[in-house]
């Protein structure tokens, strides 16, 4: 909900052989771009185990799910045709389509996680150093329009002074929290890669770990293909590992959000109450609530002298609502009956 950019798929490059009919070429290019954009979109919002179900759907008319498209960088020669086509899908049509076919969609966008990209290479640790190529690969492979939001601090001397790779490896909670606070973040992801050349085996060997830091706790993320990294390779696998890491993190977030969905299949009625605390805060809260819920799920229920009450009809669990609110620094807490008070996180 409330993430229009998710449904906008940019930079769909299409290359075709020129058959001297420009209108046919544009139509073919458009259809190819629609199919490619649809594959990219479903990979973001559909669980990997449900992708097969999507591919098996008959008479899939992708053009019915598209709001609009734009052709740029069109180049035509005697033998070839190429174009860059951006596709904007209709959010409501997409959600309705998958509900109709009973395929679960996940569109919950995460809070921003600050990335600690630690590289251990030839017994030297790299973090905010300019030559940390592990940082570069991760940032390059990261999809800014995905569900999981990552924040990469700049590689500079100031950040080197504030926290070191060894402090993070030793799980210095105070240092990590202070660094997060400096960058106005509450959560972090430690992405640790050790890559060394094994002279006896004659190849590169890697070790990878992913750790989430939130609320003073560390949580290890299980890496599905981790055993593959322990094999010996003749060349560095850093670029491939980087792509795998970004994919694994996106899947981790979808699974985390999906677990909350499993608890909330029924439509529930709740009331969210906000006591006035300045116009700026009140406007922020209203805008946030209407971005999380669809228009038919939330209504202004009651306006009082000191407060306002919103009525919500949704299958979101309270945990999922708070997960959605947390990135805005907000939380709801039970008050009485079906009423919850919304306020800023302390």
Per-residue pLDDT for 75 more than 90? yes
Of the candidate ranges 36-40, 213-217, 252-256, the one whose mean pLDDT is the lowest: 252-256
Do the Cβ atoms of 125 and 166 come closer than 8 Å? Answer: yes
Helix (H, G, I), strand (E, B) or coil at 305: coil
pLDDT band at 8 (very low <50, low <70, confident <90, very high): very high
Q: Angle between the 133-141 and 238-262 helix axes, to the nearest 10 degrees?
A: 50
Do the Cβ atoms of 253 and 110 come closer than 8 Å? Answer: yes
Give pLDDT tens digits for 160-189. Answer: 999 999 999 999 999 999 999 999 999 999
Among residues of the chain, what percentage have pLDDT more than 90? 55
Helix (H, G, I), strand (E, B) or coil at 175: helix
In degrees and rounded to multiples of 5, residue 194 shows phi and psi of: -110, 125
For residue 76, the model assigns a pLDDT of: 92
pLDDT mean over 289-301: 86
Closest CA to 114 of 135, 89, 141: 135
**Cβ partners under 8 Å of residue 340, min gap 6:** 270, 271, 272, 273, 318, 332, 333, 334
Give pLDDT tens digits for 318-341. Answer: 888 888 888 788 899 998 889 999
Give pLDDT tens digits for 31-70. Answer: 999 999 999 999 888 887 788 888 888 778 999 999 999 9
Give strand pairing partners of 121: 124, 195
Q: What is the DSSP letter of 163?
A: -
């Amino acid at each position: 909900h409330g993430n229009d950019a998710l449904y906008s798929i940019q930079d769909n490059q299409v290359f075709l052989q020129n058959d001297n009919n420009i209108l046919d070429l544009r139509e073919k290019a458009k259809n190819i771009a629609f199919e490619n954009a649809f594959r990219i979109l479903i990979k973001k919002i559909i669980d990997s185990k449900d992708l097969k179900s999507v591919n098996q759907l008959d008479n899939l008319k992708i053009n019915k799910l598209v709001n609009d498209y734009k052709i740029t960088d069109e180049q035509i020669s005697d033998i070839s045709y190429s174009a860059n086509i951006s596709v904007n899908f209709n959010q409501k049509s997409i959600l309705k389509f998958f509900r109709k076919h009973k395929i679960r969609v996940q569109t919950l966008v995460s809070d921003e996680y600050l990335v600690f990209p630690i590289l251990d290479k030839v017994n030297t640790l790299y973090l905010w150093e300019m030559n940390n190529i592990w940082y570069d690969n991760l940032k390059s492979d990261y999809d800014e329009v995905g569900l999981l939001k990552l924040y990469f601090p700049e590689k500079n001397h100031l950040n080197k002074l504030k926290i070191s790779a060894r402090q993070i490896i030793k799980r210095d909670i105070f240092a990590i929290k202070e660094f997060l606070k400096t960058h106005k973040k509450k959560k972090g992801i430690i992405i640790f890669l050790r890559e060394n050349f094994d002279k006896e085996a004659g190849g590169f060997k890697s070790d990878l770990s992913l750790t989430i830091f939130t609320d003073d706790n560390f949580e290890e993320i299980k890496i599905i293909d981790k055993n593959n990294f322990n094999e010996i390779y003749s060349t560095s696998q850093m670029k491939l590992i980087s792509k795998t890491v970004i994919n694994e993190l996106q899947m981790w977030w979808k699974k985390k959000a999906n677990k909350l969905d499993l608890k909330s299949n029924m439509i529930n009625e709740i009331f969210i109450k906000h006591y006035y605390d300045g116009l700026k805060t009140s406007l922020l809260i209203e805008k946030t609530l209407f971005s999380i819920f669809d228009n038919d799920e939330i209504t202004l229920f009651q306006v009082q002298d000191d407060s306002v009450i919103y009525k919500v009809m949704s299958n979101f669990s309270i945990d999922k609502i708070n997960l959605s609110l947390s990135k805005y620094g907000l939380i709801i807490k039970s008050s009485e009956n079906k009423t919850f008070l919304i306020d800023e996180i302390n």
